[in-house]
Amino acid sequence: MSSAKEENPRRVEVDRFILDEIDSVPHIEALLILWNHRPKPWTVDALAALLYLPEERTRQVLEDLRQRSLVASVENGSTYNPGHPRDHLMEDVDRTWRRELVRLSNLIHSKASPAVREFARAFRFKKDQP
């Protein structure tokens, strides 16, 4: 008999994706806009208008997503990168964001700041290191 409290494996994967890859609500919003309109390239100003953010903040969000290989730079702007290793999760991420906006927003806000996480990442050991 399955308990309602048991975790759905896909939900756990979505939560792990959010914790590992997403620094703020604008990050997930930008990523989902690019994913939902793929392969359309987006300029910083067009995306900033949709996100209600200044262009400089939008530029930083895109750069953060680029560094995680979630977004690619193209001639006319930025676009979603379907070659990301967790691309298979994006449909679930999109659906979960629409259905559980408050829960995922709280998850994002409960994380340590990006600077603290980046500092901790510097001390993480990689498998391929000697």
pLDDT digit string, tens, across residues 3-59: 444 468 888 899 999 999 999 999 999 999 999 999 999 999 999 999 999 999 999
Query: Is residue 71, in this structure, part of any structural domain at all?
Result: yes
Q: Dihedral, CA atoms, 26, 29, 31, 35, nearest 10 degrees?
A: -170
pLDDT at 120: 55
Query: Is residue 29, in this structure, part of any structural domain at all?
Result: yes
Rounded to whole angstroms, the Cα distance separating 108 from 128 reads: 29
Overall domain count for the chain = 1
pLDDT at 3: 43
Query: Is residue 123, in this structure, part of any structural domain at all?
Result: no
pLDDT at 105: 87
Per-residue pLDDT tens over the stretch 71-113: 999 999 999 999 999 999 999 999 999 998 888 888 888 876 5
Query: Is residue 122, in this structure, part of any structural domain at all?
Result: no
Query: Is residue 8, in this structure, part of any structural domain at all?
Result: no
pLDDT at 110: 84
- What range does the domain containing 78 cover? 24-113
Query: Is residue 13, in this structure, part of any structural domain at all?
Result: no
Rounded to whole angstroms, the Cα distance separating 68 from 63 reads: 9
* Sign of the four-CA dihedral 111, 116, 120, 121: positive
58-67 mean pLDDT: 96
pLDDT of 126 above 60:
no
pLDDT at 1: 43
CATH of the domain at 42: 1.10.10.10
Query: Is residue 37, in this structure, part of any structural domain at all?
Result: yes
Query: Is residue 55, in this structure, part of any structural domain at all?
Result: yes
